Amino acid sequence: MNAWVALAVGLIVGAAAMAIGASAYLRRHLRRVREAERRARGAERLAEIGAMTGGLAHEIKNPLSTIGLNAQLLAESIAELPIEPDEKGRLDRRIGSLRREVDRLRGILQDFLEYAGELRLDRRPADLNTVVEELVDFFMPQARKQGVRLMADLKAQPSACLIDVPHIKQAVLNLMLNAVEAMATAGREAGPEQAGAAPPPKELILRTERGSSATGGAQLKLHVIDTGPGIGPETLEKIFRPYFTTKSGGSGLGLPTTRRIIEAHDGRIDVHTAPGQGTDFAITLPG
Which residues of the chain are modeled with pLDDT < 50? 192
CATH topology for 124-190+200-286 is: Heat Shock Protein 90 (3.30.565)
- What is the model's pTM? 0.67
Q: Are 280 and 217 in contact (CB under 8 A)?
A: no
Q: Are 206 and 135 in contact (CB under 8 A)?
A: yes
The pLDDT assigned to 101 comes to: 87
The pLDDT assigned to 252 comes to: 81
The pLDDT assigned to 16 comes to: 58
* Cα 46 to chain centroid, rounded: 19
Q: Amino acid identity of 3?
A: A
> If residue 204 lies in a helix (H) or strand (E), which one and from where to where?
strand 203-212
Domain ranges within the chain, ordered by starting residue:
1-118, 124-190+200-286
The pLDDT assigned to 50 comes to: 59
The pLDDT assigned to 65 comes to: 85
Provide φ and ψ at 205, rounded to 5°. -120, 130
Nearest to 229 by CA among 178, 154, 174: 178
The pLDDT assigned to 242 comes to: 85
The pLDDT assigned to 201 comes to: 87
For helices 85-116 and 254-264, the axis angle rounded to 10 degrees is: 30
Bridge partners, 255 (sequence order): none
The pLDDT assigned to 280 comes to: 97
The DSSP bridge pattern shows strands 160-163 and 124-127 to be antiparallel
Q: Are 174 and 254 in contact (CB under 8 A)?
A: yes
Q: How many CB atoms lie within 10 A of CB 236?
A: 15
The pLDDT assigned to 206 comes to: 97
Distance between CA 8 and CA 43 in Å, rounded? 52
pLDDT tens digits for range 2-11: 666 565 656 5
Provide φ and ψ at 285, rounded to 5°. -125, 150
Q: In a 3-state reduction of DSSP, which class is residue 126?
A: strand
In the chain, which ranges are continuous DSSP H helix? 2-80, 85-116, 128-145, 165-188, 233-236, 254-264
Distance between CA 116 and CA 134 in Å, rounded? 27
Q: In a 3-state reduction of DSSP, which class is residue 222?
A: strand
